[in-house]
Amino acid sequence: MRVTLFDYGAGNLHSLIKALATTPGADVRVQEDPLRALDTDVLVLPGVGAFGSAAARLAPGREAMRKALDAGLPCLGICLGMQLLFEESDEGAGQGLGYFPGRVTRLAARHVPQIGWNDIEEDRALQSARLSTVYYAHSFVCRAVDAREVVGWTTHEGDRFPASVRRGNVLGVQFHPEKSSHAGVRFVQAFLQEVSS
């Protein structure tokens, strides 16, 4: 199973690569070209960076990537990667993939960024690897138009926002599973195993 991280050039991917590689049969690759990143069995949009610069790196392959997701290419979007699955962001210019309708806005809280552990409410992202507490590091959150696509919620200082969204084989998570201890790594493994079967 080829697993490709689309690298928008913003940060250390080591812990995510390590978590993905623990899945039996996973051949993990990193690709900076958004079109070449689509030559894969599973696409991963990692969670480090700013929306504007990541959207600019995505732009040459945006339409092709959106078509690939619509056609069934499995995708895991983490933190910023989840935000890129939406339409636009208040954090910066540029277009996301628009796979999920909605906008990314600043977290409505006194303490921003939210860094640390928090609970997930109503976790339905993966039946085989339910999560209760996960690690966050973010200042912006997705505001989903269709609540039916939200498969987990989190509340930070009264602001309730999607912890995870899912439609078909495309899963976005606002948290960092690769930094969420053994349960987070099992979550990554469960997603890869589910979409490869």
Residue 189 in this model has a pLDDT that exceeds 90:
yes
Give the C-alpha separation, 148 to 14, whole Å.
33
133-138 and 114-119 beta bridge pairing: antiparallel
Q: Do residues 141 and 107 lie in contact, with contact meaning Cβ atoms separated by under 8 Å?
A: yes
120 phi, psi to nearest 5 deg: -105, 130
Give the C-alpha separation, 179 to 174, whole Å.
12
- Using CA atoms, how far residue 130 sits from 8, 33, 51, 180, 190, in Å, is 29, 33, 28, 12, 10
Q: Specify the number of domains making up the chain.
A: 1
Residue-wise DSSP of 71-131: TT--EEEETHHHHHTSSEETTBSS----SS-EEEEE--SSS-SEEEEEE-BS--S-TTS--
- Which tens digit of pLDDT belongs to each residue from 80-125? 999 999 999 999 999 999 999 999 999 999 999 999 999 999 999 9
Q: pTM for the full model? A: 0.96
pLDDT averaged over the chain?
96
- Give me the active site residues, please: 79, 176, 178
Quote the domain boundaries for residue 186.
2-196
Give the C-alpha separation, 106 to 178, whole Å.
23
Q: What is the pLDDT of residue 197?
A: 78
Give the C-alpha separation, 184 to 177, whole Å.
4
Residue 185 in this model has a pLDDT that exceeds 80:
yes
Tell me if residue 36 falls in helix, strand or coil.
helix
Residue 54 in this model has a pLDDT that exceeds 80:
yes
Q: What is the pLDDT of residue 29?
A: 97
CATH of the domain at 154: 3.40.50.880
Give the C-alpha separation, 114 to 137, whole Å.
6
